[in-house]
Amino acid sequence: MVINGSVDYLSGFGHGLQKRLTMRENIYLMGLLRGLCKERIEELFEEIVDFSGLRKFLDSKVYQLSTGMLNRLNFSIIIHCLINKNSEILLIDEAFSSGVDLKFKEKFVLKMEELIASGSSVVFVSHNLRLIDRYCKRVIWLEDGRVIMDGNSEEVIAKYKGSNNDGR
């Protein structure tokens, strides 16, 4: 397989945070692991914290945060890293299904749309047909590792709904 361009992967948001570190320490660690230099993380730090809405927990150990708070923190770090890296190819795997409150999910969707519109080639993996229809022009329907259909989103979604699948 030949890949022309830089690739980043975005999936559910429960991955990567170190439970014994503080929120502050995790922002630096995750930023470095995602390819940003310390100086760039420092420039983005306040924006990441503000976006997460978790400022009062900045020096709390991550294991003290709820699952929803962990998802908010992780998403805030990852999305700001991705937007600032300008990846040419972005793989998004069920990222829209993270467990966060409705208000944060609205912010999250706007940031995701900003990322998708940034000019990267996006491969979006999901079972959510509304999101696929909203964000995808071309859809590849896979089943048991085999391509069932490849075409425009409207045609593939209609065929999928007409099959024995649940048609979410």
Pick the closest to residue 44 from 53, 31, 57, 56 (CA basis).
Answer: 31
Look up tokens 């979410």; give the residue: 168
Count other Cβ atoms within 10 Å, centred on residue 101.
Answer: 12
Its pTM stands at 0.75
How far apart (Å, rounded) are the C-alpha atoms in residues 123 and 134? 14
Beta strands in 29-164 (DSSP E): 89-93, 121-125, 138-143, 146-152
More confident site: 9 or 29: 29
Percent pLDDT > 90 in the chain is: 41
> For the chain, which domains are there?
7-125 (3.40.50.300), 127-168 (no CATH)
The two three-digit tokens of residue 19, written as one number: 């439970």
DSSP class of 57: G
Average pLDDT over the chain reads 85
The predicted-structure confidence for 20-42, as pLDDT tens digits, reads as follows 999 999 999 999 988 899 999 99
Confirm if 29 and 73 have CB atoms less than 8 A apart.
no
